[in-house]
């Protein structure tokens, strides 16, 4: 075995008298020239375990049990002196982090940052390091590496930034590569490219890979072995086919069933509570009634968008400016009580469409007729009344809630601004009803956003939108940052609200499995334009355009 972790126990010191145990007796092994997937939700301890292998946990707040052992190539990492541990990590063990923009220095060129690894660990000169960096960028599939080597990270796309991180990680030809959620924030096509790149590099360089993810669909495509973690403990481990085809643990079965599937659309997605630990037989909810999707001839049109366009302008020279067309002549209709899915890669314009409809961006052309009025052309004072009727749930629940407000203040503020309710007493009663509607207790009113998990924060954001009683809700990647079980809860909530209030959704996402589950009609965008649009089942069954076929072909399949 290249890496052997035995009885790993890790706790974090909160204050002088309080500690929190994050990893509880975890044991696993990574064989030579193999890929092992470490799977679990947020808080399962998988990333903490990998950071312990790398020696990146803060020593002043981290308590590792003296009985724990992490043995790499015959050496006990926890017993090594700090200087020897630093020489080992980065050269023989390397790591790719989840968010490349947070890991790369924004003010240094990518060439300098990759070259720094080569100069530090391999003793190369600046000239040698630059030549090796060019070769590495070419190896990881970076387009035009001779130009990109002198670019800053902010000048690259998300997929290109992750390629830089991979080039940096493999620069010293490590024996073990740890990849911590390296594709979570990427589009499905870029995700597939990065996965294929990691597989190719692992085979060419005979590396071992520890791949950390919460998506079992990715595991089936990359790993030989899988380890399932929950609450700091290993729940199940074994060969991928064995674990995925015949999961022995209820939690593993739940993870497999929570994620929407392309071949079926149950009335409700299963959640973790449907699979108690002591249950012997798994209740297959998906085998029951299916939800029908699609537009019908008699559907009431609630929003009609024609030739919507949005351009941004960049200064060029002293007096000139350059037009950047983000959205070009986009047209669609949205029916009452229905969902329009909007898909496409980053930069396709799908988010810009949503923000322009809410006038968070000023459109440069087109119309959006809602209740007989053009949302695009009406004066700002008149649009104020329509803000109540069209709302948005943003992607990041950590950034979209005011951290200085309690949940009660967050819910009451929009009602006060728009004059909803006769007084604060009535508004508070309405807020409590909404919290109950989204599955949160009344005690949440007095708490702050940082006291909640990501899924709970997204529920608060949805409750805030519901205070306006909107007719249209724009969901901009609103479940992409959530674990699969929490994602299932939020999708069920959105569907319940649509069934009860007949709200219409514009559901923007790069996760095509989720879109298949939620959408009645799907609009595919590329480079600011509509490539294809059809009812959900028809588009997934019989895509007409090559770009749509490429998107659908890149969906991970468990």
Task: For residue range 425-483, list pLDDT tens digits in order.
Answer: 999 999 998 898 888 889 999 999 888 877 788 889 888 988 888 999 999 888 876 77
pLDDT over 90 for what percent of the chain?
Answer: 49
Distant-in-sequence, close-in-space partners of 36: CB < 8 Å, separation ≥ 6: 28, 29, 30, 208, 209, 210, 211, 223, 224, 225, 226, 227
What pLDDT is attached to residue 86?
Answer: 86
The number of helices, as runs of H, and strands, as runs of E, in the chain is: 20, 21
- Cα dihedral: 72, 226, 454, 185 (round 10): 80
What pLDDT is attached to residue 233?
Answer: 94
pLDDT over 70 for what percent of the chain?
Answer: 97
- List pLDDT tens digits, range 511-520: 888 999 999 9
Residue 10: which of 59, 71, 81, 74 has the closest Cα?
59
- Name the band, by pLDDT with cuts 50, 70 and 90, for residue 281: very low
What pLDDT is attached to residue 150?
Answer: 93
Instruction: Please state, rounded to an integer, the average pLDDT across all residues of the chain.
Output: 88
Question: What average pLDDT does the segment 521-541 reach?
Answer: 94
34-43, 250-259, 301-310, 314-323: least confident range: 314-323
SS3 of residue 360 by DSSP: coil
Question: What average pLDDT does the segment 28-35 reach?
Answer: 94
Q: Evaluate whether 391 touches 328 at the Cβ level (below 8 Å).
A: no
- Name the band, by pLDDT with cuts 50, 70 and 90, for residue 18: confident
Rounded Cα distance between 411 and 501, Å, is: 19
Residue 395: which of 185, 171, 126 has the closest Cα?
185
What pLDDT is attached to residue 437?
Answer: 82
Question: What average pLDDT does the segment 533-551 reach?
Answer: 93
What pLDDT is attached to residue 493?
Answer: 87
DSSP 266: B
Q: Evaluate whether 35 touches 208 at the Cβ level (below 8 Å).
A: yes
- Cα dihedral: 55, 57, 58, 63 (round 10): -100
- Name the band, by pLDDT with cuts 50, 70 and 90, for residue 2: very high
Residue 266 sits at φ, ψ, to 5 deg, of -70, 160
pTM of the model: 0.81
Hey, which residues does 10 pair with through a beta bridge? 23, 64
Question: Which of the listed CATH numbers 3.40.50.2000, 1.10.1060.10, 3.40.50.880, 3.40.50.300 matches domain 301-553?
Answer: 3.40.50.300
Question: What average pLDDT does the segment 362-367 reach?
Answer: 94
**Other CB atoms closer than 10 Å to residue 56's CB: what's the count?**
13
Counting Cα atoms < 13 Å in the Cβ hemisphere of 351 gives 11
What pLDDT is attached to residue 557?
Answer: 67
Q: Which residue has the higher pLDDT, 10 or 458?
A: 10
- List pLDDT tens digits, range 48-79: 999 999 999 988 889 999 999 999 999 999 99
- List pLDDT tens digits, range 241-268: 999 889 988 888 888 888 888 888 888 8
Examine the pLDDT at 419 and tell me if it is beyond 70.
yes
Q: Evaluate whether 11 touches 22 at the Cβ level (below 8 Å).
A: yes
Examine the pLDDT at 279 and tell me if it is beyond 70.
no
Examine the pLDDT at 317 and tell me if it is beyond 80.
no
For 293-311, b/e burial (b = at least 16 CB within 10 A) is bebeeeeeebbebbebbbe
Rounded Cα distance between 321 and 330, Å, is: 24
Examine the pLDDT at 285 and tell me if it is beyond 60.
no
Examine the pLDDT at 508 and tell me if it is beyond 90.
yes
SS3 of residue 300 by DSSP: coil
CA angle 162–486–506, rounded 5-degree value: 75
What pLDDT is attached to residue 451?
Answer: 83
Q: Evaluate whether 114 touches 150 at the Cβ level (below 8 Å).
A: no
């Amino acid at each position: 075995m290249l890496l052997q972790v035995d009885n790993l126990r890790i706790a974090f010191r909160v204050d002088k008298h309080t500690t929190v145990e994050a990893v509880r007796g975890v044991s696993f092994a990574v064989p030579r020239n193999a890929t092992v997937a470490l799977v679990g939700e947020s808080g399962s301890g998988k990333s903490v375990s990998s950071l312990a292998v790398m020696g990146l946990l803060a020593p002043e707040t981290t308590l590792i049990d003296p009985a724990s052992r992490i043995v790499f190539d015959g050496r006990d990492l926890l017993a090594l002196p700090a200087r020897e541990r630093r020489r080992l990590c980065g050269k023989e063990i390397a790591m790719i982090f989840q968010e490349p923009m947070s890991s790369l220095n924004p003010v240094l060129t990518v060439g300098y940052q990759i070259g720094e690894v080569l100069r530090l660990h391999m003793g190369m000169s600046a000239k040698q390091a630059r030549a090796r960096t060019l070769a590495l960028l070419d190896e990881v599939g970076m387009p035009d590496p001779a130009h990109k080597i002198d670019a800053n990270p902010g000048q690259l796309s998300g997929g290109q930034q992750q390629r830089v991180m991979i080039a940096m990680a493999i620069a010293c030809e490590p024996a073990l590569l740890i990849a911590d959620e390296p594709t979570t924030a990427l589009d499905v096509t870029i995700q597939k490219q990065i996965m294929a790149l990691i597989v190719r590099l692992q085979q060419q360089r005979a590396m071992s890979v520890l791949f950390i993810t919460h998506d079992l669909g990715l595991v089936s495509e990359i790993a030989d072995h899988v380890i399932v973690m929950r609450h700091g403990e290993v729940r199940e481990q074994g060969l991928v086919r064995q674990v995925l085809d015949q999961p022995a643990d209820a939690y593993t079965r739940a993870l497999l069933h929570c994620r929407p599937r392309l071949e079926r659309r149950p009335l409700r997605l299963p959640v973790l509570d449907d699979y108690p630990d002591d249950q012997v037989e798994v209740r297959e909810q998906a085998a029951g009634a299916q939800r029908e999707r699609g537009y019908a001839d008699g559907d009431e049109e609630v929003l009609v968008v024609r030739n919507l366009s949005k351009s941004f302008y960049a200064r060029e020279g002293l007096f000139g400016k350059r037009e950047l067309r983000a959205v070009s002549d986009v047209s669609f209709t949205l029916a009452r009580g229905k969902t329009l899915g909007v898909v496409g890669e980053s930069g396709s314009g799908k988010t810009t469409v949503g923000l322009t409809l809410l006038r968070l961006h000023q459109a440069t052309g087109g119309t959006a007729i809602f209740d007989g009025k053009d949302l695009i052309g009406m004066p700002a004072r008149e649009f104020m009344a329509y803000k109540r009727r069209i709302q948005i749930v943003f992607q990041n629940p950590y950034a979209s809630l005011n951290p200085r407000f309690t949940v009660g203040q967050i819910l009451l503020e929009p009602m006060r601004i728009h004059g909803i309710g006769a007084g604060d007493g009535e508004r508070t009663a309405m807020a409590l009803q909404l919290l109950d509607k989204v599955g949160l207790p009344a005690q949440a009113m007095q708490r702050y956003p940082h006291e909640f998990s990501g899924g709970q924060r997204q529920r608060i954001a949805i409750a805030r939108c519901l205070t306006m009683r909107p007719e249209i809700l724009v969901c901009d990647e609103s479940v992409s940052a959530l674990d699969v079980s929490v994602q299932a809860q939020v999708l069920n909530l959105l569907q319940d609200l649509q069934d009860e209030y007949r709200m219409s959704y514009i559901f923007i996402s790069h996760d095509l499995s989720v879109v298949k589950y939620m959408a009645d009609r799907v609009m595919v965008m590329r480079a600011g334009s509509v490539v294809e649009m059809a009812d959900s089942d028809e588009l997934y069954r019989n895509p007409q355009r090559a770009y749509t076929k490429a998107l659908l072909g890149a969906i991970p399949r468990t």
